[in-house]
Structure 1
Amino acid sequence: MDLNDSLMIAAAGMRVQGERLRVISENLANADSVSETPGGDPYRRKTISFKNALNKELGLETVQVSKIGKDQSDFRKKYDPGNPAADKSGYVTLPNVNTLIELTDMREAERSYEANLKTIEASRTMLQRTIDILR
């Protein structure tokens, strides 16, 4: 593996972490969204999965988004009979988004993104030093 390969692998890691941040942001933005109809389902939390995939062009395995799915866990319920989205019993169904979990996932994605960025910076520095030696 040469330095260019390490750049490509790190760039793929940055791409998927960027996509992960997009999904997390969407979840956080909809954490308090309720259904437009009484008793209807609110926003359902999205999840993201990764996989290793062979990049035939480069002959390398890189990380890619496998799928963006929906979390099938139960919705939360809150008693609020005055809310237009409340069912006949007065309960409002809230999204299955836990902001604490989303913020923790966001921090992890941020750290992974930074690690890949550091890899690119280190590879770039090594390439630059090699070029300087050859001059």
Structure 2
Amino acid sequence: MAEFSDALGVLSSGMRGQSQRLRHIAENIANVDTPGYRRKTVEFRAEVEQGRRTGGIETGPVQLRRGELPRINDPAHPMADAEGYYEGSNVELVTELADAREAQRSYEANLKMFEQVRRMSTQLMDILKR
């Protein structure tokens, strides 16, 4: 039975990680036109307990995409400098949508496996009761 609970722990960590990833993607999409906004990403690391890997994942700290922000020419913009430029956002909508699709599919795959493991453990308990 420990194997079932271990599997459920691994799968739930994957769902938590993808959920956090989707939150950052949604924030990036919401700020695609916000001047000076930098794209946020999160990395996954192997979960370790008592010096050994559990098979699950944990999320690392939020990382901001470095590099220069695009300069946008709009002299009427309130943040424009003397030359009429301001720093835009480095979020690319197409990339965010692709990442959102990938995170959604990964979450769904973990959820299906979670349901399958739960169903198997229920069936095992029914067999053992007989």
Q: TM-score, normalised by structure 1?
A: 0.87
State the Cα RMSD in Å. 1.7
- Do structure 1's residue 65 and structure 2's residue 66 form an aligned pair? no
Query: How far apart in 2 are the matches of 1:100 and 1:24?
Result: 11
The unaligned stretches of length 5 or more in structure 2 are none
Look up the match of 1:31.
32
Correspondence for 2:43 among 43, 49, 69:
49
Deviates most, 73-82 or 43-52: 73-82
Looking at structure 2, the residues matched to 59 and 104 of structure 1 have their Cα atoms a distance apart, in angstroms, of 30
Displacement over 6 Å in runs of 4+: none
Q: Distance in 1 between matches of 2:88 and 2:113?
A: 41
1-side partners of 2:114 and 2:92: how far apart? 33
Which 5+ residue runs of structure 1 have no aligned equivalent? 35-41
What is the total number of aligned residue pairs between the two structures?
127
Alignment-derived partner of residue 38 in structure 1: none
Q: Which amino acid aligns with 1:22?
A: R
* Structure 1 contact 55–62 (Cα < 8 Å) conserved: no
Q: Please, what TM-score do these two structures have when normalized by structure 2?
A: 0.90
- Letter aligned with residue 32 of structure 2: A
Percent identity between matched residues is 39
